[in-house]
A and B are shown apart, each in its own frame.
Chain A
Amino acid sequence: EPEVTQTPSHQVTQMGQEVILRCVPISNHLYFYWYRQILGQKVEFLVSFYNNEISEKSEIFDDQFSVERPDGSNFTLKIRSTKLEDSAMYFCATRGLYNEQFFGPGTRLTVL
């Protein structure tokens, strides 16, 4: 069973709009990650987040992306001005006891 849920399962937006993707841990977690998977391609790391701070980010995670944990529970990924190439499946993950990462079911983002 995944240790996180994600909402929405599918988001459709217009190019240039802001979107917020949400990740809700089922139990207490300190480590969070976002990855994306463009259709038919490999999974790519975006950012890791620990103790309310970004601990590592990839070159994909530019200024249009941001993450936060506003209420101590939900972990969000915001894309400020979406582009067509942001269309992808976005996965949130948390860390297990042995450094494994457990992924949520994903949010499919479609930018029109």
Chain B
Amino acid sequence: AQKVTQAQTEISVVEKEDVTLDCVYETRDTTYYLFWYKQPPSGELVFLIRRNSFDEQNEISGRYSWNFQKSTSSFNFTITASQVVDSAVYFCAQTQGGSEKLVFGKGTKLTVNP
């Protein structure tokens, strides 16, 4: 079965706090890709990162960092020194095997208060 779980429905933080968004995935395939997308209040879906199943290196991009751990089937996303503009719904997603179907989690709504 292919499933993505984002257990945190909503998170609220104060500006400059660090925040981690959790993502747990399920798959029977050894080959898969994991993604994070941001959906700001304007509604578009913005691609943030893609990671393949053979690359467990963590990644940092500015204030964003991602922690991929196959042992716990997790692909968590941390925003350091959060800003009001980070307020959005964040979706974790997965493709597996030869399929290009993105399976999304239910999303985590992040609110960053000034």
Residues of A with Cβ closer than 8 Å to B?
2, 31, 33, 35, 41-45, 48, 55-56, 58, 89, 91, 93, 95-96, 98-106, 108
Cβ contacts under 8 Å, A95 to chain B: 100
| A33, A42, A98, A104: the one within 8 Å of B100 (CB) | A33
Q: A44-B104, A45-B102, A106-B43 are in contact. Are A99 and B33 (CB under 8 A)?
A: yes
Shortest Cβ distance from residue B20 to the other chain A in the assembled complex, whole angstroms: 20
Return the chain B residue nearest A47 by Cβ: B101
When chains A and B are docked, how far (Å) is the Cα of A42 from the Cα of B105?
7
Cβ contacts under 8 Å, A2 to chain B: 44
Does B95 sit at the interface, judged by CB under 8 A? yes
When chains A and B are docked, how far (Å) is the Cα of A87 from the Cα of B67?
36
Say yes or no: A102 contacts B47, CB within 8 Å.
yes
Shortest Cβ distance from residue B52 to the other chain A in the assembled complex, whole angstroms: 8
| B46, B99, B101, B104: the one within 8 Å of A42 (CB) | B104
Return the chain A residue nearest B50 by Cβ: A100
Does B45 sit at the interface, judged by CB under 8 A? yes
Say yes or no: B102 contacts A101, CB within 8 Å.
yes
When chains A and B are docked, how far (Å) is the Cα of A101 from the Cα of B91?
13
Q: Which of B100-114 contact A (CB under 8 A)?
A: 100-107
Does B35 sit at the interface, judged by CB under 8 A? yes
| B91, B93, B100: the one within 8 Å of A48 (CB) | B100
